[in-house]
Structure formats: structure tokens, C-alpha cells
Structure 1
Amino acid sequence: MWQYTYLAINFFTIIICFIFSFHPKIKFNRHFKAFLLASVLVASVFIAWDVWFTANGVWWFNDRYIIGARLFGLPLEELLFFICIPFSCVFTYHCLDKFFKLDWNVNVEKIFVIVSAVACFIIAYLFKDRIYTLVTFTTTGTSLLILYFVLKARWIGKASFVYLILMPGFFAVNGILTGTGLESPIVNYNPDDFIGFRMLTIPVEDTVYGYEMILWNLFFFYKFKKNEQD
């Protein structure tokens, strides 16, 4: 039964959100097409990143917890991860944004973006010999600047707040993936390729990696649902 562990994580991550997508006051099911287009587009980039890191031993997967089907060297469960996790996050953002006023002050949001991007670049430089740290913090800092100043995304503040709200779920999912409650991790990391600072069992880079992925999912979700009726 252990081989279904990663598959079960994906299932339980998405199932409640999927069911409530059809609630008459939420109606997220009307945006399934927009979400799928956005998630597949973003996933294609992150999967390429994943494939390269896996092939170069930056991280690898414990065969005990996966069913064994692979594509591009990645477990099927890892591919599903790039659909299930964004679905739950985008759904949560959609609900909170629909029922609560989460918009940030323009100046506060601008300062937040700049400070966050600069912090990312500083960390990337300080740990430039750690490939996971370097790539994750560099691309996240760059994404923040592009989204805000080039693509005019004026929802980064509230997206960041929602991501913070989602942290308990993040710790539950990524905690199990990185070994919390298990005899050994589902995902293992080369200690030479990341800072080594962990939140419980979770590398801090995973938090930033997930944040960047969700920002891009939200950006393209907005794009693809622009002409839809709420």
C-alpha cells in the first residue's frame, strides 16, 4: 500500500476543493477550462525544471512511495502535483477574493514586491554555489518584477496573503513529501544543492518554489478567464 502514498497526497489535496467547485455560491467549475489552460502552460516550464534537476541528482524520488509509472524520468504522481497543488491554491484564492476585500494599498504592494525581489536576489547571490537555491530565488525575484512592473499584475499582495493562509496545508503536503511522519522522504534532496535550512523537514526553497509557481498560475488564470462571465 505504501506505493500509493504520493498518489493519495495528490488526491486528498484536490478532492475537497474539487467538490466545492460546484457550490452555487462559488461556481469555480465554470472556470475549469481557464484553470487547465493556465496550469498546463505553467506546468510545462516547471516540469522541464523538474526533469533537469532530477536528471542531475538535485533531487530524486523514493520508489517505495510511488506506483512506478514515469514520464520524462518523473513519477506520474510528480506530474499530477503540478495540477493538483495549483488547483487547490487557485480555488482558495478565487473563493477568498470573491467573498473578502483583500486588495492592498498600491504603495505598500509596490514596496513589498521590490523588497521581496531584492531579498531573493541577495539570497541567490549568497548561495550561488547551491543550484536549487540559486535558480529558485533568482527566478522568483525576476518573476515578481516582471509580473508587477511589466505585466501590471496588481494582485500580488493579496496572492501573497492567500499563500500565507495556505501555509498549514503547505506544511502538511510538503511535510509528508519530505519525510514528516514517514520512515524516509518521498522526495530526497542533494545536501550540496540547497541551503540546508528546513522548516520541519521542508527545505525553505520549496516554499519559494511553490510561491513562484502559484503566482504564474494566477497570472495565466486571470488571462484565460478574462472574457468569462462570473
Structure 2
Amino acid sequence: MTYLIINVLTIFVPLLRSFEHRINMVSKWKALFPAIFVVGFIFIVWDILFMEMGVWGFTEEHLIGINIFGLPLEEMLFFLTVPYACLFIYEVLNYFTKRDFFRAFARPLFLLLSGLLLVLGLLYIQKWYTSVTFLLTAGWLLFLVWRNPAWLGRFLLSYLVALIPFFIVNGVLTGTGLDNPVVWYNDAENLGIRLGTIPVEDIIYGLLLLSGNVYFYEFFSARFPVQNKVNLATN
């Protein structure tokens, strides 16, 4: 049950602090959960397809044995616990950080990154994880650059902060401190470059996952007004 424990630990503090009066995350659930479910559905379909193709898989000894459409329950929970924790980080930073430090840099940075990912995705088109992740993220970043939402700089800050717990959680999932990884990757379908035990593609995958969640969270927040929501357009 290693994977289930990781999920519980990932969401434990953010969920516990969701009722704290300043952030009041519970009041934002009506925007947060629809965002998580929309993005999660897309990523779960992607996950199932790649699992069936042998791009990645899961070590049975770390699972509780409940599968849905062939995907471990814990993997589905991953797309709830990780986005929830990262959206919590996003809201905490929005509340306590009044200045948008990356507002001027986020758009050109994402434009540059999208170009780099597009080139690498096409260059390694034969590698499923690399090409699909890089090309999808390149297209998504171009969309964000075009839309230029007011929260883009604040998302960049939250993403950089979220990389700290990301490396801890993903490190354990990919085998740090374990005899066998919770999640294994077929290196024939990625660049074979790892940061510790983490494939470099996971960082871009995380960027796509988290930016997608923030986009839809802000989208639903505009339609279902929530309490204590920072007006990003004025900061």
C-alpha cells in the first residue's frame, strides 16, 4: 500500500488546512473540484493508454489491488491529491505574496519553452512519452501565451515552489528508497535522462498537469465566485 500512503500524505496537510479562515480553501471547492475532475479525466485516459502500450506501469507489491479500467485506484487518486495540494500551494502564495514577481517574465519564458519543447518533441517523435508530453505541453503553453491570463506569473511561482514536494513524491514513486519503484518507465519511450530516479519528462508532465488545473480552477472561479479569492488582475 505504499502508493496509497503517498497519496494520503500528499493531501493530508493541504486538506487539514483547508478550513483555516485566511485561505478558506473549503469555500473554493465548488471551483476546485470541477477543475480537478476535468483535467483528471483527460490525464487518466492518457494514463490508461500509455499503460496498455507499455510506456509505464506499476509494481503490484506497492498497490492495494483495486483496479478501475485496468488502472490502479491509487493512480487515479494521484490526479486528485497532487492537484489539490498544488492548488492549495497556489492559493497560499496568492494570499501571502502580494507582489506578482514573475508577471513580466512568465509569458516570454513560456513562449521560449514551448518552442524548445516543440523542437524536442518532433526530434524524438519515436519516443511516446517524450513526444506526446513535450508536444502537448508546447501546444498548451502557446495557448496560455495567447490568452495571457493575469495569473500566469503567479502560476509560475507556485509551480517552482511545488517542484520541491514534487521531487519528494515523484522520487519515492520512481524508486528512491525502495527496492522496486511504485511506477516504472520503459526507457525506450523516453530520453533516458533522470534526475535521481525521476525521468526528466515528468517535470514537463507536471507543468502540463498543474497549469491545466490552475487554468480550469480560475475558469470555474470566475463563474462560481468564491470567498477570499485574490483579485489577480490588480496585483
TM class by shorter chain equals over 0.9
Using the TM superposition, give the Cα deviation of residue 26 of structure 1 relative to its aligned residue in structure 2, in angstroms.
1.2
Structure-2 change in CA distance of 1:87 and 1:102 (3 Å): farther
Instruction: Give the alignment of 1:7-46 within 5 angstroms.
Output: 7-46=4-43
Counterpart among 57, 63, 76 of residue 66 in structure 1: 63
Report SS of the residue matched to 2:187: coil
- Cα root mean square deviation, aligned: 1.3
Q: 1:101 to 1:177 in 2, by over 3 A?
A: same
| 1:54 corresponds to | 51
Is 1:189 the counterpart of 2:194? The answer is no
Separation (CA, whole Å) in 2 of partners of 1:220 and 1:17: 19
Deviations 1:51-70 (A, max 9, x none): 10001100010000000100
How many aligned residue pairs are there? 226
Match of 2:90 in 1: 93
In structure 2, runs of 5+ residues without a counterpart are: 229-235
Residue aligned with 1:166, SS: helix
Identity of aligned residues (%): 38
Distance 1:64 1:167, change over 3 A: same
Structure 1 equivalent of residue 124 of structure 2: 127
Q: Which residues of 2 match residues 51-200 of structure 1 at below 5 A? A: 51-104=48-101, 107-149=104-146, 151-200=147-196
Corresponding letter in the other structure for 1:191: D
CA distance in 2 between counterparts of 1:58 and 1:102 reads 41
- Is this contact kept in 1: 2:28–2:227, CA < 8 A? no
Give the distance between the partners of 1:105 and 1:13, measured in 2 at CA: 26
1:119 shift after superposition: 1.1
C-alpha distance in structure 1 between counterparts of 2:204 and 2:49, whole Å: 18
- Whole-Å Cα distance in 1 between the matches of residues 102 and 153 of structure 2? 9
TM-fit CA distance, 1:153: 2.0
- TM-score, normalization: structure 2? 0.92
Query: Structure 1: which 5+ runs fail to align?
Result: none
Distance in 1, Cα, partners of 2:176 & 2:78: 18
For residues 155 and 224 of structure 1, do their structure 2 counterparts lie closer, same or farther at Cα, with a shift above 3 Å needed?
same
Change (3 A) 1:210 1:105: closer
User: TM-score, normalization: structure 1?
Assistant: 0.94
Tell me how far apart the structure 2 counterparts of residues 211 and 185 of structure 1 sit (CA, whole Å).
22
CA distance in 2 between partners of 1:196 and 1:90 (Å): 30
The residue type paired with residue 50 of structure 2 is F
Once residues 158 and 24 of structure 1 are traced to their aligned partners in structure 2, the CA distance between those partners, rounded to angstroms, is: 22
1:86 and 1:217 in contact (8 A); partners too: yes
Query: Alpha-carbon deviation of 1:126?
Result: 2.0
Moved more, 77-86 or 162-171: 162-171
Residues 159 and 207 in structure 2, CA contact (< 8 A), matched pair in contact too: yes
Letter in 2 for 1:77: E
Q: CA deviation at 1:113?
A: 1.7
Q: Which amino acid aligns with 2:159?
A: Y
Q: CA–CA distance in 2 between the matches of 1:105 and 1:164? A: 11
